[in-house]
Amino acid sequence: MTNGYHIVVCGSIVPDPLQTLEPILAPSGPALKNEMMLPAILDPWAAHALYEAAELAAKVAGSKVWLVSIGPKAKLQQVMMTIAQRVSFEFVPVDASASGFADAQATAAVLAETIQGIPGLDRARLLVFGGWESASRGAGATMQLVGERLAILDQFQGVDKLNLQADGSLEILERIEGGRHQASTCLGPPALFGWATGDLPEPRNNPQVGMANMRTVMPALQRAKSMPLPANGLHFLSASPPKQQRQTRVVKDLSAEQIAREIAEWIGK
Amino acid sequence: MSHSILFLAHVSESGSTLPKAAYEVLGAAVKLSQQIGAGLTIGVIGSNVEAAAETIAAAGADRILMVTGPDFETARYASDAAAAEAICRAAGADLILAPATSRFMRVLAGVAHRLNGVVDTHVTSVEVVNGEVCATRWYYRQRIEGVIRRDARPWIVLLESGCNAPWVQSALGAAAKAVVEEIPVTLSDAAKRTVVTGVRAPKSDAQTIRPDADLLFVAGAGWTKRQSDGKPHVDQAETLILEFLRVSGASLGGSKSLVDQSGESQAVLRFMTHLNQVGQTGSTPRHPKGLSTCCHGEEPHVVGWRFINERRAVNLDPNCGWARGKADVLYVADAFEVMAKLNALFSERSQPLVEAATLNT
């Protein structure tokens, strides 16, 4: 790859996992109680995809990274205050619902349309990155739908590793059952990758990167198009938190030997 | 109301049968087709599907459709999508039920788009409510359970494993075997740009992820922290954990904080990787029992335990998350001491068996 890759990362925002989530029924369907008040983060798997994209772009001269993100503008701005300090990218926000109850098909349509609208994007150099699932809908379907809309036939899900080969091909490791990886080689772009966790640590905050990113992030947020996400005939009959609350027996007064015997008996039942 | 159901499967890696999860989905498909009076079609994809198709030929399907050939041996998006699309079009079904294997999770959303249909994944049950087919699945990483229905058809539903009783051939008299029809699919060169080169797995004695194990054993970051003598004992932790996995046959899970340490250059358990991670950004395994050690049981981790029925934990903190209704029993104790005693107990129990086996040989 002499001219570098055009890497588009799809990544939405999700409520901070430490928050308690309570569903409510709104006229348009289920939603989270006080959703706009909940602190948000970039979806964890999408964040891995972004870090891998930045790493790849740093390795291959001439590469560029875009982050296409769907969410309410105010929440996107809050999340960018953190994410923009980690790696360099051009931000392409879409002002729309980031709800996990939104339909994957509708979300994918908006993402694909937005990607196709990125000026100067070269399909021959295009790598579409994203999380293999989200921490909201958790469907593991949106990226494939985006890929189909972009007519990308080389798609990989649960990706933990992407190696550049000397001949320009790509070697990919995808998670499969039983703690194993399927290895594949792909001739090159265009291709789509739904990332699992990869193997990169979270980048440290870099204020210089943050300042450079924020010069484009804020104008991009101001320009962000508001787009509706149609329900596409999806109806929720119910949405409720799990009811099961265990009555925990806290055992403080047994020796290690006694505890071991109790656990062994329990395992053997 | 669906009037025709397609059960879609691929052959297992052995090539002679279907994945275990597929028989469970077939069980659900047969039950649903009987409930709503819908016709059932079976579709199978693989290099050579005859042997696998034979195992389900008496399930009562009207037709068995298959796409076979060397191009369909491995799990590749382009070829699997073409094969699944061809079968779905030939079947013309309203509702398509398939197992949520990694192979189908990769491809069936794309197939739904090609069919101008819709898809739902990680579904735990499909039922008829007021005459409508409804699916149950989890949102926000197993924190909210939703029941949905769809207007659009075809509707592809990928069902999770461990949620339905597998289909078994009735001893009282099997249904007549369906006629097998082969659907020809020719791949373009563009569909062959990717080549699957193999599977990479740890050596069998180093494999710590065992999906069929009865027990999930979770290690938390506490195993690598300073102990009562002020020093970390990572080597001892590794020995204790690996010995327990060996004697108990348990599957190993880890908390995010523990698996992340490898990327942050901290003391690590060498066998622990992101593949072991359970929770918000890890897996949600299905085992009947789970034992957590040195893990605080905070919500982002515990959402990965949603499908673990019986839960016990060992932790030094009596106020940790497990004590707040997330485990059945919390033992407030030093996991190093408890696991050493537990390993000794298991070794004692297996010793007579080992001796008997030695005498018999």
Say which of B193, B303, B334 has its CB closest to residue A256.
Answer: B334
Contact (CB<8Å) A197/B274:
yes
Q: Which residue of B has its CA nearest to A257?
A: B341
Query: Are the C-beta atoms of residues B262 and B273 closer than 8 Å to each other?
Result: yes
In chain A, what residues touch B107 (CB-CB under 8 Å)? 144, 155
Distance from CA of B215 to the nearest CA of A (A): 8
Question: Would you call A145 and B101 a contact, using CB atoms and an 8 Å cutoff?
Answer: no
Q: Crossing angle of helices B102-114/A104-116, nearest 10°?
A: 70
Long-range contacts, B134-138 (Cβ 8 Å, 24+): B134/A237, B138/A138, B138/B306
Q: Give the separation between CA A79 and CA B162, rounded to whole angstroms.
A: 37
Residues of B in contact with A139 (CB under 8 A): 109, 119-122
Q: Which of residues 117-146 of A touch B (CB under 8 A)?
A: 135-142, 144-145
- Which residues in chain A belong to E strands, given as ranges? 6-10, 13-15, 23-26, 29-32, 40-42, 64-71, 90-95, 126-131, 155-164, 170-176, 180-186, 191-195, 225-226, 234-240, 249-251
Contact assignment for B109 to A173 by CB distance below 8 Å: no
Is B204-360 CATH 3.10.129.10? Answer: no
> What pLDDT does B294 receive?
95
The string of pLDDT tens digits covering residues A245-264 is 789 999 999 999 999 999 99
- Three-state DSSP state, B218: strand
CA B247 to chain centroid, in Å, comes to 23
The mean pLDDT of A154-177, rounded to a whole number, is: 96
Q: Are B325 and A254 in contact (CB < 8 Å)?
A: no
Q: Which residue has the tokens 């691929």?
A: B10
A183 closest CB neighbour out of B150, B197, B324? B197
pLDDT at B263: 59
For the domain made up of B4-192, give the CATH fold: Rossmann fold (3.40.50)
Distance of CA B324 to the CA centre of its chain: 28
DSSP assignment, residue B74? Answer: S
Q: What is the mean pLDDT of residues A207-222?
A: 95
pLDDT at residue number B313:
97
Determine the residue type at A223: R
Where residue A115 falls (left for φ over 0; alpha for ψ -120 to 50; beta otherwise) is alpha
Which amino acid does the sequence have at B357?
A
Q: What is the pLDDT of residue A17?
A: 85
pLDDT of residue B334: 95
- Give phi and psi for B71, each to the nearest 5: -65, -15
A249 and chain B in contact, CB less than 8 A: yes
Cβ of B143 within 8 Å of Cβ of A158? The answer is no
Residues of chain B with pLDDT under 70: 1-2, 171-175, 203-205, 262-267, 351-361
- Does A187 sit within 8 Å of B198, measured CB to CB? no
Which chain A residues are Cβ-neighbours of B146 within 8 angstroms? 30, 101, 236, 238-239
Please give the distance of CA B280 from its chain centroid, rounded to a whole number. Answer: 16
pLDDT digits (tens, 9 = 90+) for B221-268: 999 998 888 899 999 999 999 999 999 999 999 998 888 776 555 667
Q: Do B200 and A254 touch (CB under 8 A)?
A: no
Among A44, A153, A250, beta carbon nearest to B332: A250
The residue extents of the domains of chain B are 4-192, 204-360
Determine contact: A26 vs chain B, CB below 8 A.
Answer: no
Q: Is A38 on the interface with B (CB under 8 A)?
A: no
| CB pairs A-B closer than 8 Å | 281
Which string of DSSP letters, residue by residue, matches B267-324?
---TT--GGGBBSTTSB----SEEEEES----HHHHGGGTT--EEEEEES-TTSGGGT
The alpha carbon of residue A215 is apart from the nearest alpha carbon of chain B, in Å, by 30
Q: What is residue B172's predicted lDDT score, i.e. its pLDDT?
A: 58
* Spatial separation of the C-alpha atoms in residues A169 and A162, rounded to whole Å: 10
Nearest to A69 by CA among A58, A80, A61: A80
CB count, 10 Å around CB of A82? Answer: 14
- Note whether A165 contacts B: Cβ–Cβ < 8 A: no
Q: Phi and psi of B236, rounded to 5°? A: -65, -40
**8 A C-beta contact, residue A86 and residue A205:** yes
Its pTM stands at 0.90
Q: CB–CB of A140 and B77 under 8 A?
A: no
Asked whether the beta carbons of B313 and B335 are under 8 A apart, the reply is: no
Q: Which fold has domain A6-226?
A: Rossmann fold (3.40.50)
User: Which of B139, B251, B265, B346 to mutate: most A Cβ within 10 Å?
Assistant: B139
Q: B19 to chain A: nearest residue by CA?
A: A177
Domain residue spans of chain A: 6-226
Q: Is A159 helix (H, G, I), strand (E, B) or coil?
A: strand
Are the CB atoms for B50 and B166 separated by under 8 Å? no
Provide the 10 A C-beta neighbour count for residue B155: 24
**Residue keyed to tokens 């290895």:** A183
- Rounded to whole angstroms, what are the CA distances from A171 to A159, A181, B193, B196, B337? 11, 12, 12, 10, 44
pLDDT category of residue A104 using cuts at 50, 70 and 90: very high
User: What average pLDDT does range A57-62 have in this prediction?
Assistant: 96
Confidence at residue B204, expressed as pLDDT on a 0 to 100 scale: 60
Q: Are A119 and A182 in contact (CB under 8 A)?
A: no
